[in-house]
Amino acid sequence: MTGAEAPEATQAVPERPRAAGRQDWTAWPKYNAAGSGYRGYWYPVTWSSHITKDPKSYTICGERLAIIRDAGKVYALHDRCPHRGVPLSEGDQQFPGTVSCPYHGWTYRLTDGKLVAVITDGPDSKICGKLSVQTYAAQERLGLVWVYIPIARESAPPLDEQLPRELVENAGIVGGRIQPRAGNWRFACENGFDEGHAKYLHRTALWRLFKPMPTWNITRIVREGRWIYRVQDEVYWEADFPGVGTWTNKRWWKKKPNEGTVSQIGNVGAGLPVNPVIEAQQFPGFASLSMPGVLRIAYPNFIHYEFYVPVDDERHLYVGLMVNFVSGIKRLGFYAKYLGAIRWLFHGQFSGQDAWMVEVTDAPPEKLYRPDVSLTMWRNLAEEEYAEKLTAAVEFASEPVTRARERRAPASRRRTGAVESAEPVESSE
């Protein structure tokens, strides 16, 4: 566009009608803009055992983080020294409670990021106390390090409020895998909750070698609180396709499914005993999803969780956890089974098929079909919840600006109340 008006004689070209099923993401503008993730949430970054007194670099939601452990506690700082832009993750710890840049020894306090010493400028350095790097709330839970990525420097809410409730209220044993993967986090999240793919894509997975899978389902999506659930109303184990033939996932060596009952715990048929903790949750459906991209798949003996952690527009971190709610010697049995087989079959080849699809997905544009109600309902949930979160963040960011302008306003204007309204402050972190 040049800014010049078109001649009056020019006739507007009519908009091309949309083809049936054609979709872009303009109906979900905040989701469309969330290529590098949603701020205002806690994200799992790495295993707790990987963080030591030597800082390590991670990127979450496009934010470069330096994460370090001091006196048993984990800290996260912006991974850039303001002096010359050298990553603090390349530095080390010269004094307790600090991290020092490797270039000139600029030293920052871990608790608040304040510059407290410049080794190459002597003890009386005048710049100390005048600079700081951003810090991030960091906690450890479930054997993982979690970091809160703020919208507008707001205080982090309790991590337990974001975690699935059953993980907070019950003890269990966790087996898991963290893997950097190509592809946008939204593709990974949508793949996890996608109604149709598992029955076809994973038909060749060794994890499914002896487990039956339906051919197709009739499914609806229900919402309870901050979660949406896939509820199976009808399950079809084989089908005749007109003019093509019969298709089924049944094989003579697979377990025979219970075709007379629709199960909402697992998708391989009813009849298996269910762990008491899992049964007590009374999930409406076995697959559920919540913000900022947390998948929960409930099976009779364990619950599988996937956290899709945004790195940037083209990369994400896959965090897969398998949790078994058992105690005593059964914990050792599960962990041995996980390390000996499940890790490689489930979090390896089975999940690797998902990684393959996420990497090659190219959308939008897209043409959706009936089972994709799982995707559109997820996008609706994300759009609604993040709109509320942004509203709260704008209110938080505006308050100190308003108070600052009131202090700067002339006394006469303060007496009359004629203070300029404050514009929302946008985060540029």
What does pTM read for this prediction? 0.85
Q: Tell me what pLDDT residue 15 has.
A: 47
Tokens standing for 146?
A: 């979690």
The residue ranking higher by pLDDT, 258 or 151, is 151
> Which of 103-112 are b and which e, b meaning 16 or more Cβ less than 10 Å from the residue's Cβ?
eeebbbbbee
Q: Tell me what pLDDT residue 268 has.
A: 58
Q: Tell me what pLDDT residue 131 has.
A: 95
Q: Tell me what pLDDT residue 231 has.
A: 93
What are φ and ψ of residue 153, in 5° steps?
A: 65, 25
Count CB-CB contacts under 10 A for residue 359.
Answer: 14
The Cα 236–Cα 134 span in angstroms is 54
Say yes or no to pLDDT of 20 above 90.
Answer: no
Over residues 356-369, the mean pLDDT reads: 94
CA 320 from centre of chain: 11
Please state, for a pLDDT cut of 90, what percent of the chain lies above it: 64
The Cα 219–Cα 374 span in angstroms is 9
Over residues 363-414, the pLDDT tens digits come to 999 999 999 999 999 999 999 999 999 988 877 777 655 454 454 544 444 3
Q: Tell me what pLDDT residue 89 has.
A: 98
Say yes or no to pLDDT of 122 above 60.
Answer: yes
